Amino acid sequence: MRFPEKSLRVEHFDEPQLEFAFSQRSPHPKDGLFLYGPHAKAKKSREIRVGVVGTTDGIGHFRRWGRKLHSVVQVPPPGKGEKADRLHLANFPGLDEAFGISFEPDECSTLSIAWKDIDRATRIINLNEAVDKVARLFIDRVRRHLRNDERSVDVWILVLPEIVYERCRPQAKRTGLPMEKGDFTKRQKSKESIPLLSAMGVIDQTEEAIFEDVPDFHRRIKAEFLKIAPTQLVRETTLAPEAFLNKANYPVRKTQDAATVAWNLATGLYYKTQPKPPWRLADVRPGVCYIGMVYKSLPHDPDGHACCAAQMFLNEGDGVVFRGANGPWKTGDYDFHLKAPAAKNLLALVLETYSETHGGPPKELFIHGQTYFNDEEWNAFVDAAPKETNVIGVRIRSTGGETKLFRDGDYPVLRGTALLLDDQTAYLWTTGYVPQLNTYIGPETPNPLHITVMRSKNSKPDISTVLGDIMGLTKINYNSCNFNDGLPVTVRFARMVGDVLTMGSAKGEERQPFKFYV
């Protein structure tokens, strides 16, 4: 297609294929799992060990869901105005049938926390202290179990009352609650500066470490459990929406249908307990490695330092997170750049891990970022890579509606459409109408990603190759069982990874599987 006012190319990229058991392929995770099973499917069902922490009611909700997962969960009948055939929905066939794993809900390691203790902790005046005390209720309960029980747990499920979600996040609105006085003042947001008395041992400031972190329950749990096991956080209202009704007798929050919840829970259980993900990309070029660069400002750091990390993904789909050094990486309101020694060390750690797995360095190493790469850090990346590895820097940015592309018909532009501006820049629609699903899942006309091949150690790859890779990376979010995401996994979880790594309890974790962060 050519536009009359300017010569621009529009191309369409086919939906990337995924690989499942017996080398069978499908573009849809649910279809592939239903028909063939996970790509590393065992000959017989694997028993997984699940631990559950929550209130007595929350544990009961999970047990009932655990029993549901062992049988078929049907898609609900279409509502008023809905199509009879909703191809984006699918019946859940059962945990063993789809994933080849199982667990006994009544034999899980269950750790109960009194609702009144959670409620009281969430009402402490100082929000940092409130979040810390709620998190400790869960963390200390698990650590006490680990000291007293020899049975290992593959994944911990934290079933959260709604008050944790509502009250234990940054800027939580806790209006109308009878508040309780804690150990710290309402206004205190950082450690008290008493270095002399503290050094002499007169005053113990260890408890004040809570003010080094953002008051966020989710981030705190993920950071603490980096040293324990993968976790899955789920709200009670997700598991039992019918148990939480408003005055009009409707659920207090709208949730996904039961079959979709089952698919997502089961995918998370498999990914977080098995050595290989449930599916992988079928046509990734051999010898290719993808890195997502993560920067996050350290909360309350007096020098304004930031944390840097790299997420590495391979054709198997699974990822590893590498923590780099903290330092003065922020160079603008939204710009972060590493100094040469830190850039070399971080990339060397990534390359070492790749070589351990594949017996040698990658042919191509793509670095995905949301800002540009300056000369100092780019030259350090190039110096750290062996001669045979081409390093390519790609900037991926979301757009806010300034660029639209329209087509005839009832649905918007097809997912996989690309508007090529030149040989290194393009717009790519990773959301849009999907013919296989016969629908577009979105509230408005989709916005594209803006893709730019910024730099390359050797010759730059063809822009079409880069766009095809990014399409594939939108299909390996193993925290759900969706057809695709709007962002590649290298960018999709960047903020979440950075949020976890800036927490004080995450210190010392240099390299950890990606499954611990999601």
Single pTM value for the model: 0.92
| Structure tokens that stand for 426 in this block | 């393009």
Tell me what pLDDT residue 456 has: 97
Backbone φ and ψ for 139, nearest 5 degrees, come out as -65, -50
Instruction: Indicate the SS3 state at residue 129.
Output: helix
**pLDDT mean across residues, the chain:** 90
φ/ψ region of 22 (left if φ > 0, alpha if ψ in -120 to 50, else beta) reads left
Instruction: Give tens-digit pLDDT for 439-454.
Output: 998 888 899 999 999 9
CA triple 102-225-223, angle to 5 deg: 135
Asked whether residue 192 carries a pLDDT value surpassing 90, the answer given is no
Answer for the pair 340, 265: CB distance below 8 angstroms, yes or no. Answer: no
φ/ψ region of 268 (left if φ > 0, alpha if ψ in -120 to 50, else beta) reads alpha
Answer for the pair 266, 96: CB distance below 8 angstroms, yes or no. Answer: no
* Rounded Cα gap, residues 374 and 173, in angstroms: 41
Contacts of 355 (CB under 8 A, 6+ apart): 361
Q: Are strands 511-513 and 319-323 parallel, antiparallel or unpaired?
A: antiparallel
* Rounded Cα gap, residues 382 and 375, in angstroms: 10
φ/ψ region of 295 (left if φ > 0, alpha if ψ in -120 to 50, else beta) reads beta
Segment 171-181 shows an average pLDDT of 90
Tell me what pLDDT residue 190 has: 58
Instruction: Give tens-digit pLDDT for 374-422.
Output: 999 999 999 999 999 999 999 999 998 888 888 888 889 999 999 999 9
**Percentage of the residues of the chain whose pLDDT score is greater than 90:** 72
Instruction: Give tens-digit pLDDT for 95-121.
Output: 999 999 999 999 999 999 999 999 999
Tell me what pLDDT residue 197 has: 40
* Rounded Cα gap, residues 291 and 394, in angstroms: 10
Asked whether residue 157 carries a pLDDT value surpassing 60, the answer given is yes
Return the sign of the alpha-carbon dihedral for residues 253, 257, 262, 263.
negative
Asked whether residue 193 carries a pLDDT value surpassing 50, the answer given is no
Residue 196's pLDDT band, with cuts at 50, 70 and 90, is very low
Task: List strand residue ranges (DSSP E) for 263-331, in order.
Answer: 280-281, 288-297, 306-313, 319-323
Answer for the pair 409, 439: CB distance below 8 angstroms, yes or no. Answer: no
Tell me what pLDDT residue 452 has: 97
Question: Listing from the earlier edge strand, what are the strands of the sheet with 417-420?
Answer: 9-12, 417-420, 425-428, 449-456, 390-398, 364-369, 288-297, 306-313, 319-323, 511-513
Asked whether residue 199 carries a pLDDT value surpassing 50, the answer given is no
Instruction: Give tens-digit pLDDT for 245-270.
Output: 999 999 999 999 999 999 999 999 99
| Structure tokens that stand for 314 in this block | 């391979």
